[in-house]
A and B are shown apart, each in its own frame.
Chain A
Amino acid sequence: MAEPKIKYDRQLRIWGEQGQAALEKASICLLNCGPTGSETLKNLVLGGVGSITVIDGSKVDAGDLGNNFMVDESSVGQSKAKCVCAFLQELNDAVKAKFIEEYPESLIETNPSFFSQFTLVVATQLGEDSMLKLDRICREANVMLIFARSYGLTGFVRISVKEHTVVESKPDHFLDDLRLNNPWPELRRFAESIDLDVQDTVAHKHTPYVVILVKMADKWAKSHGGSLPSTREEKKEFKDLLKASMVAADEDNYREAIEASFKVFAPRGISSDLQQILNDNRAEVDSNSSDFWVMVAALKEFIANEGSGEAPLEGSIPDMTSSTELYVNLQNIFQAKAEADCLVIEQRVRYILKKIGKDPNSISKTTVKSFCRNARKLRVCRYRSIEDEFNSPILPELQKYLTDEDYSVAVGFYILLRAVDRFAANYNSFPGQFHGGMDEDISRLKTTAVGLLSDLGCNGSTLTEDLINEMCRFGASQLHAVAAFIGGIASQEVIKLITRQFVPMSGTFIFNGIDHKSQLLCL
């Protein structure tokens, strides 16, 4: 059946067949299906996740009709989990949808092993106490976890995973891997085989800039004791030499060469980001190591040996002005080198696997190939546990946020979102949740927030009256548009985590629905 493929066409163009396969294998658990949770799942069901399990113990009431699209008048009085689940199923029959009518808080309390069956848990609208417990459970069971909450015109999204490694990080702007500052023998020989002094003007303007730059860099190095341009004057001189080599004003290839000459000046070797990954303790592998770290170990050896300080070649080249023949030849030279590098890494991977007592063929050739192609773009994301963040936030960061004008509203909301849970624990309702008593709630919330700040080690810090007022005005409401925004962000992050493509957010995203100056806080 070709139909599902057509249906997913617009997203396959983003995360490909592999990303889609990962989504279709994933099982997602949703805790609480108010608008925030329902909207999160809606986006995932449309994209075709494997299965969803909706957990909510409440019944639909009239208030829910005003902010949740997944319930309607016929749902009033019925299980919210059941109604939401039924609507979600209607969106995509390829998804296995089920529900459990139970309060998440009690499930967390009584049946912690329940969560180990899932790929990922989306926990919405949970209080601090349940968040702490669930985080412990999911970390123990190696289940990915995302918290999301909307509250009036604010809310947050927080990923909690011990470690998330990404091969296909797909950055937007990343310098291509042309090795113009360090060409390997075959590339150099290819460049040498082309004569730029030909009288043929058509050939001259169809020589790719890669060839022009390799030759010019070579010439430069010969007259500069083997080194490449490094000072501002030298760089200018190098560009002037390129300009002087043009035989006509309309030579796009030379224009491209001048624009790309910074690639000749770039330092050789790997980036500090990649170096940091190579230096990670996890790169010392044993039988418990994941495939990712086994491949990092092989990469480390490659860079120290065959690579002479460079990562394996990526193998692709951007489009550039060129004759078809030279371009295709150049492409073949890059591809051959990439394949050779990959083969060396593959051998090292097999050897390491054997050494640590694993099946040497347990990592496929395709996986190694993709790893090599993306070696310069590897990413490792780690998230502090909720317990660590709540009990001992990174104090210098917190103090910086509290005094930085750009962060003041976001950090204010962060403190208040935690303060309302303390408030609720003390007074059995959220500030401003019910009609009347607003002034008392405002002063109580203020006291609670100041107490929280001092518990966090920020004695003397205060929040603005305006923000405390607003928080009480919100009265724990869930506005549909805010929930759709927060749920949208949460589902986006779920997709990145499950497909293992792109880079998930770091820290806690605090939504500022007043003027949209939202922030990520790394505490």
Chain B
Amino acid sequence: MADTEAQPSRSRDLDKLLLRPGNLVGANFDPGEELRDDLAKSAKVLVVGAGGLGCELLKDLALSGFQNLEVIDMDRIEVTNLNRQFLFRFEDVGKPKAEVAAKRVMERVSGVNIKPHYGRIEDKEIDFYSDFIIIALGLDSIEARSYINAVACSFLEYDCDDNAREETIKPMVDGGTEGFKGHARVILPGVTPCFECTIWLFPPQVKFPLCTLAETPRTAAHCIEYAHLIKWDEVHSGKAFDPDDPEHMKWVYNEAVKRAELFGIPGVTYSLTQGVVKNIIPAIASTNAIISAACALETLKLASGCSKTLSNYLTYNGAEGLHTKVTEFVRDKDCLVCGPGVLIELETSITLQKFIGLLEEHPKLLLSKASVTHQGNNLYMQAPPVLEEMTRSNLSLPLFDLMGKTTKTTLHVTGTTSKNDKKTSVLRKLRVVFKGVDGVTDMDTAGGA
């Protein structure tokens, strides 16, 4: 014990992993102080969501050597968050989650800088997301996951052999919980399955048939959904139901009670009414902590190479005993999101307006109200109005000319599509090839079709 390190530093424990060589490590692991300093100074990580998982993720990452973090969340703090979102206090109720979470972590972990973004993920420019080495997802909605996944995959480029180009891979780490269960996964677009490749892991929620609600209610939930989905519209013509308005919720509850009494059905409570109407997913601190910790650890490993990484999907179930399982899912080779992109062949004469119309009809896309960007240039934007006006004149011009007469290029389009009767915003990558121009042969287009 010659060297007792009388003055331990903040990175005492992390240094063991980052400064020492190892055998079970990532391929490009280069241990040393430089690695530690790079992680602290230049590795920027985005945390999406500042809820149950997001709060934990920010803390875990701040204590895993990362000093440049950003967090985005559109929600404000509610009382029901306080049993697990440990960065929030009672007096914070009503404030934006991202701002309070960032402030609290910075107060406690010196040297860490966290930039909060209070707003919707869809409202950020795509470029905003390209700035981060890793995106960590702490979300509870499938739509939001899908969106970020598409954004991260949009950066991906393929070489001529259809292999993902490593420098364009934007890794994601994703977590999710429900009660005593959860999952953590690592997504390396183009290498491991993206969120969309394995979308079947998240089956859509089953809804009650309307005729059951209207004619043969049997359970308390049927009575609640009758009041919520049928009776409300009958009575309040045109006024939208607001699940966050306690008066609205009480009205639905009272109507559900009346209906349950009429049919002799037990079990309608106010708590159940809220649960059914808002589709509340039970959530506790411990599961969030476990899943976020796994995600943060994978983020550290991806960024530093200090150990192997999870390949590629971890499930945790703590309800009956304790079960953890790693599954190696495979990519969907035909995935529209992480694949090389939908190939579209065009005449050089087609106008941008016509092209946008074509996207609506394309069987693989069915994309309406599309905005189009080419290598960071906005060719046409549906919103905001200022941008719409600025780009409107492009609509009548040939697309070929707008893209600098490149015969073969990649475009990004955003718009809405219908999925399970629900409109969702999507981002798609398209590979556009112009016919009848020099340099394009049949050989070029055959490969990726």
What is the interface of chain A, defined by CB distance below 8 A to chain B?
3, 6-14, 35, 39, 42-43, 46-48, 61-63, 65-69, 72-73, 90-91, 152-153, 169-172, 206, 319-320, 322-324, 327-328, 428-429, 432, 434-438, 465-467, 469-470, 473-475, 477-482, 484-485, 487-489, 491-493, 495-496, 502-506, 509, 513-518, 520
The answer for the CA separation of A504 and B300 in the assembled complex, in Å, is: 30
Mask of B359-379 contacts with A, CB within 8 angstroms, 1/0: 000000000000000000000
Cβ of A419 to closest chain B Cβ, rounded Å: 18
Residue pair B322, A505 in contact (C-beta under 8 Å): yes
**Which residues does chain A contribute within 8 Å of B86, judged by CB atoms?**
42, 46, 91
The answer for the CA separation of A484 and B8 in the assembled complex, in Å, is: 22
The answer for the CA separation of A517 and B283 in the assembled complex, in Å, is: 25
Residue pair A65, B16 in contact (C-beta under 8 Å): no
Cβ of B180 to closest chain A Cβ, rounded Å: 7
**Which residues does chain A contribute within 8 Å of B297, judged by CB atoms?**
479, 481-482, 485, 513
Closest residue of A by beta carbon distance from B63:
A480
Residue pair B293, A485 in contact (C-beta under 8 Å): yes
What is the interface of chain B, defined by CB distance below 8 A to chain A?
1-5, 7-14, 16-17, 20-24, 56, 59-60, 63-64, 79-80, 82-84, 86, 89, 107-110, 179-180, 184, 216-219, 263-265, 271, 274-275, 280, 282-290, 292-294, 296-297, 300, 307-311, 314, 317-322, 324, 326
User: Do most interface residues of chain B lie in helix, strand or loop, or is the interface mixed?
Assistant: loop
The answer for the CA separation of A13 and B288 in the assembled complex, in Å, is: 16
**Which residues does chain A contribute within 8 Å of B5, judged by CB atoms?**
434-435
Cβ of B215 to closest chain A Cβ, rounded Å: 8
Closest residue of B by beta carbon distance from A465:
B23
Given contacts A475-B16, A495-B286, whether A62 and B293 have CB atoms under 8 Å apart is no
Given contacts A43-B285, A319-B218, A473-B17, whether A484 and B56 have CB atoms under 8 Å apart is yes
Residue pair A319, B219 in contact (C-beta under 8 Å): yes
Given contacts A206-B216, A513-B297, whether A479 and B318 have CB atoms under 8 Å apart is no
Q: List 28 A-B contacts (CB under 8 A).
A: A10-B84, A13-B280, A13-B282, A42-B86, A42-B285, A46-B83, A63-B8, A63-B13, A65-B10, A66-B12, A324-B216, A324-B265, A435-B3, A477-B13, A477-B16, A478-B13, A479-B14, A480-B64, A480-B296, A481-B63, A481-B296, A485-B297, A492-B180, A493-B322, A503-B320, A513-B297, A515-B310, A516-B184
**Which residues does chain A contribute within 8 Å of B3, judged by CB atoms?**
434-436
The answer for the CA separation of A130 and B83 in the assembled complex, in Å, is: 33
Which are the 7 A-B pairs with shortest beta-carbon distances? A63-B8, A63-B12, A505-B322, A488-B289, A488-B290, A480-B63, A484-B293
Residue pair A153, B307 in contact (C-beta under 8 Å): yes
The answer for the CA separation of A67 and B289 in the assembled complex, in Å, is: 15
Cβ of A396 to closest chain B Cβ, rounded Å: 21
Given contacts A10-B284, A469-B22, whether A484 and B289 have CB atoms under 8 Å apart is yes
Residue pair A324, B322 in contact (C-beta under 8 Å): no
**Which residues does chain A contribute within 8 Å of B311, judged by CB atoms?**
515
Residue pair A7, B13 in contact (C-beta under 8 Å): no
Closest residue of B by beta carbon distance from A327:
B218
**Which residues does chain A contribute within 8 Å of B82, judged by CB atoms?**
7, 46
The answer for the CA separation of A48 and B83 in the assembled complex, in Å, is: 8
Cβ of B69 to closest chain A Cβ, rounded Å: 14
The answer for the CA separation of A42 and B283 in the assembled complex, in Å, is: 15
Residue pair A14, B1 in contact (C-beta under 8 Å): no
Residue in B263, B309, B319, B324 whose beta carbon sits within 8 Å of that of A518 in the complex: B324
**Which residues does chain B contribute within 8 Å of A328, judged by CB atoms?**
218, 263-265
Residue pair A11, B326 in contact (C-beta under 8 Å): no
Closest residue of B by beta carbon distance from A328:
B264
**Which residues does chain A contribute within 8 Å of B274, judged by CB atoms?**
9
**Which residues does chain A contribute within 8 Å of B83, judged by CB atoms?**
7-11, 46-48
Residue pair A39, B14 in contact (C-beta under 8 Å): no
**Which residues does chain A contribute within 8 Å of B307, judged by CB atoms?**
153, 513-514
Closest residue of A by beta carbon distance from B9:
A62
**Which residues does chain A contribute within 8 Å of B107, judged by CB atoms?**
72
**Which residues does chain A contribute within 8 Å of B292, judged by CB atoms?**
484
The answer for the CA separation of A264 and B209 in the assembled complex, in Å, is: 28
The answer for the CA separation of A516 and B292 in the assembled complex, in Å, is: 14
The answer for the CA separation of A11 and B329 in the assembled complex, in Å, is: 32
Given contacts A66-B11, A482-B297, whether A10 and B320 have CB atoms under 8 Å apart is no
Q: What 14 additional pairs, Cβ within 8 angstroms, besides A10-B80, A502-B319?
A: A6-B79, A43-B286, A69-B59, A69-B108, A324-B216, A324-B218, A479-B64, A484-B296, A487-B289, A488-B293, A495-B286, A514-B24, A515-B326, A518-B324
Cβ of A380 to closest chain B Cβ, rounded Å: 13
Residue in B22, B89, B284, B317 whose beta carbon sits within 8 Å of that of A470 in the complex: B22
The answer for the CA separation of A435 and B1 in the assembled complex, in Å, is: 9
Closest residue of B by beta carbon distance from A35:
B63
Residue pair A473, B22 in contact (C-beta under 8 Å): yes
Residue pair A491, B10 in contact (C-beta under 8 Å): no
Residue pair B216, A323 in contact (C-beta under 8 Å): yes
**Which residues does chain B contribute within 8 Å of A91, judged by CB atoms?**
86
**Which residues does chain B contribute within 8 Å of A435, judged by CB atoms?**
3, 5
Cβ of B273 to closest chain A Cβ, rounded Å: 13
Residue pair A503, B294 in contact (C-beta under 8 Å): no
The answer for the CA separation of A39 and B2 in the assembled complex, in Å, is: 33
Given contacts A46-B86, A484-B296, whether A11 and B284 have CB atoms under 8 Å apart is yes
Residue pair A516, B265 in contact (C-beta under 8 Å): no
Given contacts A434-B4, A485-B293, whether A69 and B63 have CB atoms under 8 Å apart is yes
Cβ of A254 to closest chain B Cβ, rounded Å: 16
Cβ of A424 to closest chain B Cβ, rounded Å: 12
**Which residues does chain B contribute within 8 Å of A43, judged by CB atoms?**
284-286, 289
Closest residue of B by beta carbon distance from A434:
B3
**Which residues does chain B contribute within 8 Å of A504, judged by CB atoms?**
321-322
Residue in A73, A324, A517 whose beta carbon sits within 8 Å of that of B326 in the complex: A517
Residue in A13, A62, A327, A488 whose beta carbon sits within 8 Å of that of B286 in the complex: A488
**Which residues does chain B contribute within 8 Å of A46, judged by CB atoms?**
82-84, 86, 285
**Which residues does chain A contribute within 8 Å of B217, judged by CB atoms?**
324
The answer for the CA separation of A170 and B282 in the assembled complex, in Å, is: 15
